[in-house]
Amino acid sequence: MEAALRDAVQAREHILGVVAHDLRNPLSLIMMQSTRLHRSASEPDRRNQKPAQAISRAAARMNRLIQDLLDVTRIEAGRLPVERRPLSPGALPAEAADTEVALATSSGIDLRLAVAKDLPEIWVDRDRLLQVFENLIGNAMKFTKSGGQITVGAEVRTHEVLFWVKDTGAGISPEDLPHVLDRYWQAAAGAGRLGAGLGLAISKGIVEAHGGHIWVESAVGQGSIFYFSIPTSRPEEDRPQMTH
């Protein structure tokens, strides 16, 4: 049964990889052509580029969904690629907030930093951890109304650096709290779906691939805080080997 399950997972991963590749070819063409439509238009035409912009946004969402599906499959198979390099952890919250600040401002949300000084070096995949921050900050903005606040922070603890994203949003009910990091889980936040429900599960997989932990504390009406920790120790596979 274990062998059959392993074969089924590998077959699904292969099929998903083929489908994702075949989808991305025409999707890349759509994204490229929509960009060209905007650049090649005359100045008066550029002022009315809403259709081209809508195409670009839709294509970007499709590309993100394809990547999320691939990441979930890799996490399930224990093969999520993580390329670790030494990094000053204070740069991560700052870079993540800088990417999201324009959207937060347009939504009337105050996006702040609370990063301690002199944080110890960590060995991480920078792009993967920025992906975690993107998911957590994006999730916070979905549930935080105009006039609210989101804080992105970092501090040192024993043998680890603790990161967090805190919001003043709607909060999470006690019955929903244990399922927040599950695949495809979605909280109710108005009408319609809020996405595929993969972002937090992928964040969990990325953090655990770094040897860390992720969890959430929340109360209805009082907002939520998503924490994740990353060890400060250098990974075994990256340590120089001793010779005798």
Per-residue pLDDT tens listing for the chain (244 residues): 877 766 666 666 666 666 666 777 777 778 777 777 766 655 555 556 677 777 777 777 777 777 777 777 777 777 788 889 999 999 999 999 998 998 899 999 999 999 999 999 999 999 999 999 999 999 999 999 999 999 999 999 999 999 999 999 999 999 989 889 887 676 654 434 455 578 898 899 999 999 999 999 999 999 999 999 999 988 765 554 443 3
Place of tokens 């951890």: 129
Fold of the domain spanning 85-231: Heat Shock Protein 90 (3.30.565)
**CA 208/CA 189 separation, integer angstroms:** 28
The domain spans of the chain are 2-76, 85-231
110-120 burial code (b ≥16 CB/10 A, e <16)? ebeeebeeebe
Fold of the domain spanning 2-76: Helix Hairpins (1.10.287)
Q: Which amino acid is at 43?
A: E
Structure tokens at 114: 């609370």
